[in-house]
Every structure is written in C-alpha cells, then in structure tokens.
Copies of this chain bind each other. A is one copy, B any other.
Amino acid sequence: MDEALRETTKKTAQMLFHSLKGGTGFETWKKFDKELARELSMFFTGKLYSREVISQKQRELCAVASLTVLNRRAEVRAHIHAALNVGAARQEVAEVIFQQVTYGGMPVVVEAIEVLKEVLEERGEWE
C-alpha cells in the first residue's frame, strides 16, 4: 500500500511540476530528515493533490488564487506552472490573479502577474 502511495506521489508531482526548474525543495528537506521529508511529500502531493473531488485544473487555479493573496512568490511560480501543465489557459490564470485584487489588494496582484509573465517566458510562450 505504501508502495502505491509512493507511486501516486511521484506521478502527481510529475504531472504538476515537471516543467519547474530548480525543484520544490524536497532534496533539501531530505538532508535534515529523510523520513519527515517523505511524509510531507506523500501527504500533500500523494494524498491531497491526487484527490479527484474537483478537477486538477480547478485545484491549481485555487492554488494560484491563495498563493497570490499570501504573496508567496516561489510557490506562485510553481503553481502557475502546474495550472498550465494541467490545461489552464494563460488567460484563465491571469483572470484568477486579477480577481484577487478584491481580497488581497493591488500589490499582490502586481507581483503575481509579473511571475506569470516570467513563467510564460521560461516556457517560450510569451509573445
């Protein structure tokens, strides 16, 4: 069973973050505590992100929404990649970011839109 969970974790991480350069920090966590690093990864990626109550696209747009208002730049980048990787259009990602002005104000929108532009450039999809 643990084997199945590991497999799901790996596949889900691959699906969401395969295009993300520099990784998610997992390699560093392992240096401090191999066991805990794995538990964290299996819990969040393997158990939570693999659930199918909402679609992967819905989930990733919600991640972009909350990471935008929290102003977590590195993680906004990761989940913009993920959103695009599971089929969200750039215009949909931009829309969710702009909407956040309502809940978090302009400064966090300005920064997340900048990150979106950088991600599109990285992917060769900026015009």
Measured CB to CB, the residues of A under 8 A from B are 24-25, 28-29, 31-33, 36, 39-40, 43-44, 47-48, 51, 53-54, 58-59, 61-72, 74-75, 90-92, 94-96, 98-108, 110-111, 113-114, 116-117, 127
Q: How far is the CB of A32 from chain B (nearest CB, A)?
A: 4
Measured CB to CB, the nearest residue on chain B to A127 is B31
Q: At the interface, is chain A mostly helix, strand, loop or mixed?
A: helix
Can you list 13 A-B contacts with CB-CB less than 8 angstroms, sorted by A residue number? A32-B116, A33-B94, A36-B98, A40-B98, A48-B101, A54-B95, A59-B99, A62-B64, A66-B100, A66-B103, A69-B70, A69-B105, A75-B110
Which B residues lie within 8 Å of A113 (CB)? 25, 28-29, 32
Q: How far is the CB of A40 from chain B (nearest CB, A)?
A: 7
Which B residues lie within 8 Å of A71 (CB)? 72
